[in-house]
Amino acid sequence: MSVLDSKQLATLLNDDNFASGNFLRKVISVSHDIDDPLVFLDEPYISIDGTQYTSISLRGLKQLSEEYASFYHEQGIVPKDVVGVYVEDGLDYMIQFLALTSLGAVAAFLNGGLSSDIAALYLEQLNVSGIFTTEGKQAGLKACFKKEESKRLPLWIKGKIAVPGGSFPVVYPFQHSELDPVLLTHTSGTTGIPKAVQSSHFPYLHGVKDRLATPVQNISRFLNSLPHAHSSSIGYIMEATIRGCPIKVQTKKSPEDLVSAIETFRPDYVLAFPNLYVDMLRLNMDDYDFSSIFYWRSTGDAAHERHVRIMTRYGSHVAEDGSIQPGSIYIDGMGSTEMGSALFTTLRSNESKDFDRCVGKPADYVDAQILDEHGRVIGADTVGFLAVKSPSVIQGYWNNTNKTEQSRVAGYWVTGDLAYKDKKGNFYHVDRITDRIETREGMLYSLQTEELIMKKFDMVFDCSIFKIQAKDGTESATLKAELLDDSLSDDEVQALLADINDWLSQHKVPKLASISISKKSVIHAPLGVTGKVLKRVLRDQSEEQKLSA
């Protein structure tokens, strides 16, 4: 049972001042059960005084964050200061978010998987006032800073911070205005140095409040396996906290750890990026107990039909007559850090028809359009630039006005995605702008083509298509595939390529120039810190192989 009943939840949603910077205090103000365990952990959280927690209540979240708020206040942090947070994946990110927002300061999250050189360069661009990090990361940061002022920044080391004296600002907690910044999170960096995305007080919680206003049946226990330095993870922890639903914050991200957490915590609602689900599918799913699952949810890029159809065989769903029937639901949310939420959401089951990378219609509060290169809205069934207007969309990239303005066209935020809209108003995501391939035969959209291949060829478990550029500037497409059978001979691999190209020709898609195969159950492509395939790295690796051949 949710800690908050419908009346309590309505009180929050009708509160015009309820938003991301004050959500915890608002929840505590209407809740009767603030000491019940709510957040559960696979790895203990260690507080400033060394106490270890395996579960934490609403009151506990407030107290733990206030310890850090007092510490930062005593270190001179004031409203609008930016504090870098660069630690290992875990609840530290949520605690730091709560602590810094209570002071009106801005947490700047860095995924712990970022290399020291990228992290240092990124932090220097943000003009941070200090950095909360670990003993293992501090030396790398110090060595990689280029600016003299950066080398003098205070580095607050997790586990080596003195217990604060308990002092707070005269006005505490900070009273945010609607567009005050509350969090900076970085993009996936698939095209280079990550950009700092600014989440603001009201916009950041907008998508969460919309989901709360339209409840889904049988959501009572969350399992959050998203990277916790990502804005989506903080958003779903906020949602679970507001609902009063127990949530497990899963730090260990291996597929074995994920299925173990599902079996022991018994969630009905699992959250992860698509890549972790694909990792899980490399296991023998029949060996595990998924009977508690009602919903799998992902965000980011749309998931591939091939993988979703396997997952929805397991668990249960609520039928139209209210009965519980076999087969779970996959909630496919397409969004980005810049969109502020998953603005397109599609529910998939084993009864769903062909997906074809359909992401459905946008949320009711979203104006989505397909634009041409001149910013004009184009008609149905024509690929163009996906652009959105939404109360959740970010204010821009921190300290990067030029990039912010380049992303705004005709009043819309251009997401960096290529898509088209059909005559019924459904949107289809075909590629990222940077990954399309202009071959001699015409334009090839890599994500759309990957979907087409996996829909036809059962032996292709997962794949990525990327461009190769010849010396004369012409582009060709090559396929990196993970096969269920990795014992194919070279002749059989080439025969597979011929079959794939025949299939693509039938759908008026340009042919692939080459194919390479990865071993069974081995991830076929390098992934970024948020789990996205780094196609630029695949391109670079291919070029290096050609040079060394």
Q: Per the structure block, which two tokens stand in for 187? A: 């993009």
Is the pLDDT at 455 greater than 60? The verdict is yes
**191 or 502, which is more confident:** 502
Sign of the torsion formed by the C-alpha atoms of 59, 62, 65 and 71:
negative
What pLDDT sits at residue 531? 66
Q: What is the rounded average pLDDT of the residues 37-56?
A: 97
**1 or 18, which is more confident:** 18
Residue type, 232: S
Peptide bond into 227 cis (omega under 30): no
For residues 392 and 207, what is the distance between their CA atoms, to the nearest angstrom?
7
Helix (H, G, I), strand (E, B) or coil at 292: coil
Q: What is the rounded average pLDDT of the residues 208-223?
A: 86
The region of weakest confidence among 69-73, 160-164, 341-345, 469-473 is: 469-473
The answer to whether the 252-432 and 436-548 domains have the same CATH topology is no
Name the DSSP class of 71.
Answer: H
Is the pLDDT at 94 greater than 60? The verdict is yes
What is the pLDDT confidence band of residue 218, given thresholds at 50, 70 and 90? Answer: confident
252-432 maps to which CATH number?
3.40.50.12780
Q: Where are the domains of the chain?
A: 58-200, 252-432, 436-548
In 3D space, the residue among 187, 202, 8, 3 whose CA is nearest the CA of residue 101 turns out to be 202
Sign of the torsion formed by the C-alpha atoms of 313, 317, 320 and 322:
positive
What pLDDT sits at residue 1? 38
Residue 453 CB coordination number (10 Å): 20
What pLDDT sits at residue 28? 96
Helix (H, G, I), strand (E, B) or coil at 215: coil
Phi/psi of residue 185, nearest 5 degrees? -125, 155
Helix (H, G, I), strand (E, B) or coil at 74: helix
Q: Per the structure block, which two tokens stand in for 385? A: 């630039």
What pLDDT sits at residue 431? 94
Is the pLDDT at 549 greater than 60? The verdict is no
What pLDDT sits at residue 547? 45
Burial class (CB in 10 A: 0-12, 13-18, 19+), 134: middle
Long-range interactions of 311-314: CB distance < 8 A, separation 24+:
311/277, 311/281, 312/348, 312/349, 312/350, 313/285, 313/350, 314/285, 314/290
Share of the chain above pLDDT 90, in %: 81
The region of weakest confidence among 166-180, 204-218, 371-385, 445-459 is: 204-218
Name the DSSP class of 389.
Answer: E
Q: Per the structure block, which two tokens stand in for 22? A: 């004050």
What pLDDT sits at residue 500? 98
The region of weakest confidence among 100-109, 252-261, 369-378, 463-472 is: 463-472
Name the DSSP class of 466.
Answer: E
Is the pLDDT at 49 greater than 70? The verdict is yes
What pLDDT sits at residue 124? 95
Residue 169 CB coordination number (10 Å): 16
Q: What is the rounded average pLDDT of the residues 68-91?
A: 98
Q: Is domain 436-548 in CATH 3.30.300.30, yes or no?
A: yes
**440 or 302, which is more confident:** 440
Is the pLDDT at 528 greater than 80? The verdict is no
The region of weakest confidence among 157-166, 329-338, 385-394, 496-505 is: 329-338
Q: Are 280 and 258 in contact (CB under 8 A)?
A: yes
Q: What CA–CA distances, in Å, run from 239 to 224, 276, 419?
A: 11, 21, 29
3-state secondary structure 308-367: HHHHCCCCEEECCCCCEEECCEEEEEEECCCCCCEEEEEEECCCCCCCCCEEECECCCCE
Q: What is the rounded average pLDDT of the residues 214-232?
A: 89
Q: Are 165 and 155 in contact (CB under 8 A)?
A: no
**303 or 2, which is more confident:** 303
For residues 224 and 261, what is the distance between their CA atoms, to the nearest angstrom?
10
What pLDDT sits at residue 5? 82
Domain 58-200, CATH class in plain words = alpha beta
Share of the chain above pLDDT 70, in %: 95
